[in-house]
Structure 1
């Protein structure tokens, strides 16, 4: 009766995660003196109020502890005794969960009916045992770790990150949490990588459309990073799935192993109770079963609590029958005390080593490993049990508190980054509705948008996971919307460029028709020039036709003007020959005039010869005419047989002939009008000067002003005389 009630008592407060407090080990209720018989009632401890800030290192209340000189339970033992019997005081279940009775779910071990009370407690127990008491600690710390902002990574950086994660998953120390973190990274990177691919394709398509004018024939080739990313993505997914499948298989196998160990332990206990076995052999077999139990891994949560409860109950029964080995248990407790003290020193050294520096996940993992080792060590002497646990718990709490403080700082920093990026998103929103018909306006807005994007990328650091992810999606969606509108504008622009291409093609055909006709008249030349002017007024054509249509038009125009220029070169050569003839004629006239043997009959011959010579280059026309006039005037002046009046007549006549030869009557009238206007202006200036000079006094300063005015009058009079002479010549020419 006593052993059955003790098995029930051992089921209480086994879960260190949900119970108010955690104590890895404590004294069993049946740890009586060697000569003391166990009672029929098992004392239970009333439920304690949970301490504030319960964490993974909190401890349950004690109920009892089996006697052992080595590792006894492999998990957390119940707490100290109380004075109430199960009938008098039944503890309330913990707030979160209670241990399930064996018949409420899947059976965890096949046990005889006589022993069913080992697996099914009668009163409600406090909690249900977790498969891994450190699991809640790790989950809590992971939940408060903000996600990194991967939106700023390039595709090469994403591939490098996956390669690093894959390498870390191939180590011997990889854990389930490592695979969960790797899977979170995949979930974050997949949409960002796909978005980057889509963005590159859209940019390539836009450049292709700008170059070719349409989407036809567009092919986008992915770079090697895409294939590498997909391969790494699949490898990590496959490796994760394989790991968890193996983990589940291992849990199923562990369940079978522990079920078999319970069967062997039950046989050992029953044999011991019936005095059917050798005590020494029984002890060795018991310790061997304990070692195998400790070596066996976790099982599925629905079976874990029942297995542990049954295991504790059987161990308790065994120790109840092993009072003869109490001294061995005391020695074992002293050994456990030494081991636990060493673990306390290690975790305290870990706290000291990280004083003033961030508490990394590696430090937390190391602390959890020490906690895992601590909880598998059997109980220490009662006097030291609570002291050791409080010492160990204090060091763990210090590390966890620092870690939580760091998480709070990360949250604050993430919130600040979120606010900064939210402002950039607000700046970007007006650009999503921008519209214009000007390429320059679109280019200007694009530069502004790219500046906002650069500022976004310059803000580095993690944001709150859900809010940051949502903000990043909205920002990149707004960016994509702006460039979509820009793309639509350029599509419309391409339609206009197609019309411009048709117009320029028509101009090419017109110039080519003129070139084929062979016409080189002034009218056709003017027509080609007009077509060139029209070409300049037409806008741009599609990029892929830009060079070809221009070369076609240029070739047609160059062909026309080169042909015309070739003919002009022949005429120019003839003009040069005429210039040489006229220069030679002027030299002959000048020679005769200088000799003093000027004869009017000879002058008429010179004039006829001059008239027979054709045109000269335009640039030399005025200079050769002026030389010819001067030569003829010298020739006339050298003749002493004619009167001065006759000489003036001949000179005017000669100049008039030059004017008639070089200009039309319309030009003569125009030139006459210009001369008359200049004469009128000079006459008015002279009249004003003469009028002003009358107002000057006889002072020294006035004489100087009078002299200046006289010079101006003389210069104006000389110009007036020249104009009068030119007017006579023009009249003579008319």
Structure 2
């Protein structure tokens, strides 16, 4: 490339070119560029993303390679992302296929005839990966074709230059002929400069031939020496302007940090400097030293910036390594207590918050390995936690079997049609035993309860139909409960008389009253709960949270006294749904915070997400407390 300095000069001047100096600068610039830190890919753990998010990530990479200004050097980053996502997708496909095959074998008893079709997201990942590979192949093929075309163009230019020389040497050329020849020669020079790169095996040969022809041409141009000198002076002016541009870039570092954009601009100026012809002999070396000194200022600043960057990256790595060492023991945690699991979850989420909050790049390979280890430790902990709850669910299956047997016993008693004291006692004992059995799987909770309740209600309904005096007692109980409700309602209208002690007295009196007729049970219970709500609201010394808890405890006491608890089951289901939604929202918000870059805008977004997370955690704590109260009753 340094030999391009020869264009536009004669053979005498060619000996004056500082070829070694130009080559030296090219080597220095190449070494500096090789020392530049590679562009870091975002610190993203794709194994934590959903399939839909993996598809979106690949669509983003596809949009990059489709961009008209996409550069070949960026393919490495895109290939890294595609490779990671493909590995995750392949693993997911393998696991889903194995799971499907297992189910198929369990159902059919053999593997023959099994067919597996991956889901839409995995197929999208395959299609996007192939499309990106296609763009890559087309990109390199286009470059190869461009180099072949450039080789053809430069070969034709050499042929034109030889023909021009042969014509000048084979005839007498007057002034007009020399001028015409000079214009054709300059045109060939410009077209040569515009022509791009060619395949490396031919590059040296073409350059050697080109420069030999240039030397041969100028050896015949003594008559145009004055024109060459004018061209040299113009080159000197242009090179001085380029020196000034690079010097101004160096001065700008006083008010702004060194960046890749500044270095790229300097390299473009250097390319322009190389393609200019030589300056007058007495100025050539002086201009070159001035230009090289200005470039050295930029590269010294770039090296210093990179050294500081490496120091900062090491500090970030050490800080995050300390966080990882704190959570590593969590991977071995085991417990049979839900509270202990929840407590450990809060601890590990706090360390995750510290990890996410600490922004900054780490050394590429070490940082990537540490990030994988950190998120892998988190994944192991939550897998262990999930296994614990899966075992807990297995216990609920056992409870379902127990309650199913109790339903069958009650149904057998009801089928006899006998309401003897012994049968009645058996039903009562089954009801007590029912309360002592733990929870069943969520999807069977209502159906198994309805089955048992329908059987027990049927038994006692038959008993009521045979015992009018019992029904009379139920009517009397109804009157007592209505009277108690009216007293509670009257007391609620007077805030001065509303106290917790009187509320306890009302509850005790209600518990002491027996059953009411079935047809009035639900309406009486609703009216009682409404009266208690009004009375609790009238107690001035209670906070809103304490009032809500007092009402919930009243509902729980109704269940303990044998009242209809279907509404409480539904309330438990609703609270569990809210808890799950809040936990998912908190996890999503916490993961989103990690990907924000450092900027004023992202800081505001981060603060907003943190506010949401804190509010959600407070609400989650209240819901879990309510759930505990309900579970103690059910």
Interval containing the TM-score (normalised by the shorter chain) = 0.5 to 0.7
Are 2:225 and 1:332 equivalent residues in the alignment?
no
Superposition CA RMSD, Å = 4.4
CA separation in 2, counterparts of 1:367 and 1:220?
Answer: 54
Matched, 1:551 2:450: yes
Query: What's the CA shift for 1:554?
Result: 2.3
Asked if the contact 1:501–1:542 (Cα under 8 Å) also holds between the matched residues in 2, the reply is yes
Higher relative contact order structure (alpha carbons within 8 Å, sequence separation ≥ 6): 1
Could you give the per-residue CA deviations for residues 321-355 of structure 1, whole angstroms, max 9, x where no partner exists?
21221111100001111111222222233333443
Match of 2:347 among 444, 448, 461: 448
Name 2:158's counterpart in structure 1.
262
**Are residue 238 (structure 1) and residue 134 (structure 2) matched?**
yes
Unaligned runs of at least 5 residues, structure 2: 96-115, 477-511, 514-634
- Determine the C-alpha separation between the residues in 2 that align with 1:348 and 1:129: 16
Contact 1:500 1:541 in 2 (8 A): yes
Question: Do structure 1's residue 301 and structure 2's residue 208 form an aligned pair?
Answer: no
If each structure's helix is expressed as a fraction of its own residues, which one has the higher value? 2
Q: Which residue among 489, 492, 509 is the counterpart of 2:388?
A: 489
CA contact (8 A) 2:148 2:199 kept: yes
1: CA distance between counterparts of 2:420 and 2:264? 97
Q: Which of 357, 366, 372 is the equivalent residue of 1:458? A: 357
Equivalent in 227, 247, 250 of residue 146 of structure 2 = 250
Which among 44, 52, 58 is matched to residue 150 of structure 1?
44
Q: Deviation at 1:439?
A: 3.5
* In structure 2, C-alpha distance between the alignment counterparts of 1:575 and 1:321, rounded to whole Å: 130
State whether residues 254 and 296 of structure 1, in contact with CA within 8 Å, keep that contact through their aligned partners in structure 2. Answer: yes
Quickly say closer, same or farther: Cα 1:374–1:287, change in 2 above 3 A. Answer: same
Which residue of structure 1 aligns with residue 330 of structure 2? 431
Cα-to-partner distance string for 1:662-699 (whole Å, 9 max, x where unaligned): xxxxxxxxxxxxxxxxxxxxxxxxxxxxxxxxxxxxxx
Q: Distance in 2 between matches of 1:160 and 1:542?
A: 36
In 2, the alpha carbon distance for the partners of 1:237 and 1:134 equals: 32
Output the CA distance in 1 between the equivalents of 2:169 and 2:44: 64
Structure 1 residues 575 and 461: alpha-carbon distance in aligned structure 2, compared to 1, 3 A threshold = closer
Equivalent residue pairs, number: 455
Q: CA deviation at 1:294?
A: 0.7
Question: Contact 2:10–2:218 at 8 Å: present in 1 too?
Answer: no
- Tell me if structure 2 keeps the 8 A contact 1:30–1:320: yes
Whole-angstrom distance in 2 between the partners of 1:455 and 1:506: 51
Identify which of 498, 506, 509 aligns with 2:397: 498
**Where in structure 2 are the equivalents of 1:150-549 lying within 5 Å?**
150-151=44-45, 174=69, 178-188=71-81, 191=84, 236-275=132-171, 278-549=177-448
In 2, the alpha carbon distance for the partners of 1:136 and 1:464 equals 21
- SS of the aligned residue for 1:358 comes to coil
Residue by residue over 1:434-482, the C-alpha shift from the partner in whole angstroms, topping out at 9 and shown as x without a partner, is 2233343333333333333333223333221111111122222222222
Cα distance in 2 for partners of 1:574, 1:381 equals 125
When residues 15 and 507 of structure 1 are mapped into structure 2, their CA distance, relative to the original with a 3 A threshold, is: farther
**Structure of larger gyration radius:** 1
Q: The residue matched to 1:411 in structure 2 has which SS? A: helix
Distance 2:382 2:266 in 1: 52
Give CA deviations for 1:12-66 in whole Å, capped at 9, x if unaligned. Answer: xx679xxxxxx9679989416xxxxxxxxxxxxxxxxxxxxxxxxxxxxx9544x
Q: Following the alignment from structure 2 to structure 1, what is the Cα–Cα distance between the partners of residues 288 and 474?
A: 121
CA distance in 2, matches of 1:576, 1:250: 99
TM (normalized to structure 2)?
A: 0.61
CA contact (8 A) 1:25 1:78 kept: no
Q: 1:333 to 1:318 in 2, by over 3 A?
A: same
Q: Which residue of the partner structure matches residue 99 of structure 1?
A: none
Query: 1:148·1:461 contact (CA, 8 Å) conserved in 2?
Result: no
3-state SS in 2 of match to 1:299? coil
Q: Distance in 1 between matches of 2:264 and 2:56?
A: 25
| Residues 316, 361 of structure 2: 8 Å contact kept | yes
Decide which of 78, 103, 115 is 2:19's aligned counterpart.
78
User: Contact 1:348–1:395 at 8 Å: present in 2 too?
Assistant: yes
How far off is 1:261 after superposition? 2.0
In structure 2, relative to structure 1, the CA distance for the partners of 1:230 and 1:377 (3 Å cut) is farther
Q: Is the 8 A contact 2:464 2:470 kept in 1?
A: no
**d(CA) in 1 for partners of 2:161 and 2:250?**
40
In structure 2, relative to structure 1, the CA distance for the partners of 1:528 and 1:164 (3 Å cut) is closer
Q: Is the 8 A contact 2:10 2:219 kept in 1?
A: no
Equivalent-residue separation in structure 1 for 2:20 and 2:34 (angstroms)? 26
CA 1:269–1:430: 2 relative to 1, 3 Å:
same
Output the TM-score relative to the length of structure 1. Answer: 0.54
- Are the counterparts in 1 of residues 407 and 455 from structure 2 also a CA contact under 8 Å? yes
Q: Deviations over 1:90-112 (max 9, x none)?
A: xxxxxxxxxxxxxxxxxxxxxxx
In structure 1, C-alpha distance between the alignment counterparts of 2:129 and 2:172, rounded to whole Å: 61
Q: Report the CA distance between 1:494 and its aligned residue.
A: 3.7
Whether the 8 Å contact between 1:15 and 1:129 is mirrored in structure 2 is: no
3-state SS of paired residue (1:31): helix
Q: CA deviation at 1:492?
A: 3.5
- Residue of structure 2 equivalent to 1:624: none
